[in-house]
Structure 1
Amino acid sequence: MQTQDSPIRFDTKITVLLRNDLQPWQSLNVTAFLVSGIAAAVPELIGEPYEDADGTPYLAMFRQPVVVLAGSKEVLTAAHSRVLSRGLPRSVYTSDLFATNNDQDNRAAVRAVPRDELDLVGLAVHGPRNAVDKIFKGAQMHR
């Protein structure tokens, strides 16, 4: 039974995996881009808008936490293969995107590289908790 003070347990999970050799600014930027893709693909994950006590409105955000993990290039590549085999909503960020500065060039940079040759630096996934946990096996909490 869920009480007012009980933590909410969600059936699904949003998880971001970042390559562990990124600079701090890169990690933050990649995370922001990746979760925007999840929000666009699964709009029901967005809660209601916020408002402070003075009535100032703020934008709605995810209604559940986002877990951010880190791992080696090999862990990221394995997670990418696992998410593709499960068909869950996903977004990717490749190293090539650090050299672009607009959405059109970003998409062209990803499109130019075969799937198995993408130099992944980030991956975000939304799906059932157990499936997402299996996808990110070997990753650790981001620090």
Structure 2
Amino acid sequence: MTPAELPPVRFDTKIAVVLRSDLEPWQRLNVTAFLVSGLGTELPEVIGEPYADADGTPYLPMFRQPVLVFEADKEMLTAAHGRALARALPRSVFTSDLFATGNDRDNRAAVRAVPGDQLDLVGLAVYGPRNAVDKVIKGARMHP
């Protein structure tokens, strides 16, 4: 069978990123990249096989499934964070404070300095069973 003849792959898990709707375009891209990097390091099952082109040049593996990007206002993002915590789903966060830091050590210190229910979230990535992730991101809309 050729790839075009194979049935579509349907995943029972979902990777979702929710971005705060008031971010600048460059911030949206930056936050998304940072957020999903955490998933691949802690959850090896989300990573597919390495790539190679027809010349045999190797490329790094990527996620084995799509990353769906959503947007929401600050309140909905905070609610999604609470739902992700309540469901104990793997997650990563990006707070507004991280735009002012310049390195990983200061990023971690900025998050650690604020209680979880007071984080000024600008982004959240979550991974888990499709239905659980859907409940976490309920109310968010697909990013335009």
Q: 1:12-91 alignment to 2 at 5 Å?
A: 12-91=13-92
Cα distance in 2 between the residues matched to 1:83 and 1:109: 21
Secondary structure, in 3 states, of the residue corresponding to 1:126? strand
Q: Distance in 2 between matches of 1:26 and 1:43?
A: 27
* Counterpart residue number, 2:132: 131
Across the aligned residues of Structure 1 and Structure 2, the Cα RMSD in angstroms comes to 1.0
Tell me the SS of whatever aligns to 2:8: coil
**3-state SS of 2:124 partner:** strand
* TM-score normalised per structure 2: 0.95
After TM superposition, the structure 1 = structure 2 runs for residues 96-135 of structure 1, keeping only pairs within 5 Å, are 96-135=97-136
Give deviations 1:66-110, integer Å, cap 9, x for gaps: 000000001101000100000010000000000001100000000
Structure 1: tracts of 5 or more residues without a match: none
Question: How far off is 1:4 after superposition?
Answer: 4.1
The CA distance in 2 between the partners of 1:123 and 1:82, in whole Å, is 11
Name structure 2 gaps, 5 residues minimum. Answer: none
Paired with 1:47 and 1:4, the residues of 2 have a C-alpha distance of 21
The TM-score with structure 1 as length reference comes to 0.96
- Same amino acid, percent of matched pairs: 73
SS at match of 1:123: strand
Q: Which residue identity lines up with residue 64 of structure 1 in the other structure?
A: Q
**What is the deviation of 1:43?**
1.0
In 1, distance between residues paired with 2:60 and 2:96?
A: 30
Shift of 1:5: 3.0
